[in-house]
């Protein structure tokens, strides 16, 4: 395994863990559903896995765009020796733009989905801004199947540029490894956080970092791209 692929895999691990831990919606709903419906640990883990696979599956489908972009780079005649460099610059540029967009989004405090447990014991999802304490007018009652749909429609965008690099290198092995590692660590982190909550362990204030999840993801990709372009990682 070459150094470039090792860096990409490390970046995929970092993003998958950050994306999960800093997003309470990746584990709090399962803990709440488990308690409200008196689920066993096995059923709780099963639904976590199903929703996690839906989430990763949509991310991989979105990552096909990265594969298509990388493949198109590799077809540019006369640039055979520059493919890796171009893909590295693409990785760096996307990371920088994604980080700036994430910081801007955090400053503007854009609305995002929020899960909450109400006095009737039901769980609801609605649009919410950080620091906003307002009773939602539009909310949807959460069931396991609704959760599956929500996760299926909520991909992790940073997977796109990560798949661009091995695609430009014509490395099917690299693309498969990225998808497998990203999937594995996303699911493991989701299950870990759910199990901690299931057994009553309190979390750090990860919700405070939720608004910066896109900025952190962009920064991670930017560092990876910068290392490949300037430090020959």
Convert the pLDDT of each residue in 62-94 to its tens digit. 778 777 776 676 665 444 444 456 667 777 888
Residue among 225, 9, 222, 10 at smallest CA distance from 102? 222
Q: How far apart are CA 71 and CA 96, in angstroms?
A: 22
**What angle do the packed helices 3-21 and 213-230 form, to 10 degrees?**
170
CB 58, CB 154: distance < 8 Å? yes
Residue among 35, 10, 26 at smallest CA distance from 151? 26
Q: What is the pLDDT of residue 105?
A: 73
How far CA 125 is from CA of 3, 50, 194, in Å, comes to 42, 19, 18
Q: What is the DSSP string of 166-228?
A: HHHTT-HHHHHHHHHHHHHHHHHHHHHHHHHHHTTPPPPSGGGGGGGHHHHHHHHHHHHHHHH
Q: Where are the domains of the chain?
A: 3-230
Indicate the length of the chain as a whole number.
233
Q: What is the pLDDT of residue 45?
A: 93
Q: How far apart are CA 169 and CA 228, in angstroms?
A: 14
To the nearest 10°, the Cα dihedral for 188, 190, 195, 201? Answer: 120
User: How many CB atoms are located within 10 Å of the residue 167 CB?
Assistant: 26
Q: What is the pLDDT of residue 184?
A: 93
Counting beta carbons within 10 angstroms of the beta carbon of residue 136, is it exposed (0 to 12), middle (13 to 18) or buried (19 or more)? middle
Main-chain phi, psi angles of 112, to 5 degrees = -145, 170
**Does the model's pTM come out above 0.85?**
no
Q: What is the pLDDT of residue 42?
A: 92
Both structure tokens of 189: 């982190």
The sheet carrying 123-128 orders its strands as 112-117, 123-128, 140-141
Q: What is the pLDDT of residue 81?
A: 47
Q: How far apart are CA 139 and CA 65, in angstroms?
A: 32
DSSP code of residue 184: H
Q: Which stretches of the chain drop beneath a pLDDT of 70?
A: 1, 70-71, 73-87, 108-142, 170, 201-211, 232-233
pLDDT digits (tens, 9 = 90+) for 161-176: 777 777 777 678 888 8
DSSP code of residue 203: P
């Amino acid at each position: 395994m070459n150094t470039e692929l090792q860096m990409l895999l490390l970046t995929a691990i970092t993003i998958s863990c950050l994306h999960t831990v800093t997003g309470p919606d990746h584990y709090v709903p399962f803990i709440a559903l488990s308690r409200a419906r008196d689920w066993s640990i096995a059923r709780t883990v099963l639904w976590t896995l199903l929703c996690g696979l839906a989430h990763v599956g949509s991310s991989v489908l979105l990552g096909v765009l990265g594969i298509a972009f990388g493949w198109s780079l590799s077809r540019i005649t006369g640039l055979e020796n520059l493919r890796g460099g171009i893909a590295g610059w693409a990785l760096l540029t996307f990371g920088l733009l994604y980080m700036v967009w994430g910081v801007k989004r955090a400053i503007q405090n854009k609305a995002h989905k929020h899960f909450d447990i109400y006095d009737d014991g039901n769980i609801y999802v609605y649009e919410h801004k950080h620091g906003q304490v307002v009773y939602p007018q539009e909310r949807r009652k959460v069931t396991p199947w609704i959760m599956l749909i929500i996760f299926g429609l909520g991909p992790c965008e940073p997977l796109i540029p990560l798949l661009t690099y091995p695609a430009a290198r014509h490395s099917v092995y690299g693309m498969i490894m990225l998808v497998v590692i990203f999937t594995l660590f996303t699911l493991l982190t989701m299950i870990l956080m759910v199990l901690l909550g299931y057994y009553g362990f309190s979390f750090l204030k990860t919700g405070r970092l939720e608004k910066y999840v896109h900025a952190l993801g962009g920064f991670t990709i930017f560092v990876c791209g910068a290392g490949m372009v300037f430090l020959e990682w």
